[in-house]
């Protein structure tokens, strides 16, 4: 299954992509986050492992999951072929479109406002 490069425009689309490509995203996080670490998203030591916290965030649709995607992006090496790894393009798109998680309606659904500047 390959991501087709369609940016998510709504919160529902963002989460649908996470669900559809979860194994690829999880694989990327395993590579560059360290999933057995007992440090939570805020850097606090917890009793559960990071993998448990991430699974719970996905299940309850916690927008802070995007912070883990951003951490994965940040920790990944800038090497040739990175964009060929399954899920990488999607991870980048989810990071760039994280704003949809905080909007009640899509930007494309809002009417354009006309302003006249004098």
Task: Please check whether residue 97 lies inside any domain of the structure.
Answer: yes
Show the tokens assigned to 38: 């007992």
CB 93 within 8 A of CB 20: no
Task: Please check whether residue 4 lies inside any domain of the structure.
Answer: no
E strand or H helix that includes residue 26? helix 22-32
Output the pLDDT for position 36. 64
Q: What are the pLDDT digits (tens) for 15-71? A: 999 999 999 999 999 999 866 677 776 777 877 788 888 999 999 999 999 999 999
Percent of the chain with pLDDT over 70: 84
Structural domain harbouring 50:
11-103
More confidently predicted of 112 and 94: 94
Task: Please check whether residue 71 lies inside any domain of the structure.
Answer: yes
Task: Please check whether residue 69 lies inside any domain of the structure.
Answer: yes
Output the pLDDT for position 52. 87
Task: Please check whether residue 15 lies inside any domain of the structure.
Answer: yes
Structural domain count, the chain: 1
Task: Please check whether residue 6 lies inside any domain of the structure.
Answer: no
Task: Please check whether residue 63 lies inside any domain of the structure.
Answer: yes
Task: Please check whether residue 5 lies inside any domain of the structure.
Answer: no
pTM of the predicted model as reported, rounded to 2 decimal places: 0.79
């Amino acid at each position: 299954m390959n991501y087709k490069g369609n940016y998510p425009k709504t919160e529902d689309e963002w989460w649908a992509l996470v669900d559809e490509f979860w194994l690829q995203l999880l694989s990327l996080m395993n590579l560059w986050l360290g999933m057995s670490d007992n440090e939570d998203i805020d850097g606090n030591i917890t009793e559960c492992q990071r993998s448990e916290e991430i699974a719970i965030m996905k299940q309850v649709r916690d927008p802070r999951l995007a912070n883990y995607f951003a951490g994965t992006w940040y920790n990944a090496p800038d090497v040739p072929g990175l964009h060929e790894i399954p899920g990488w393009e999607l991870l980048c798109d989810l990071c760039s479109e994280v704003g949809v998680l905080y909007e009640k309606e899509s930007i494309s659904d809002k009417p354009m406002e006309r302003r006249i500047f004098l």
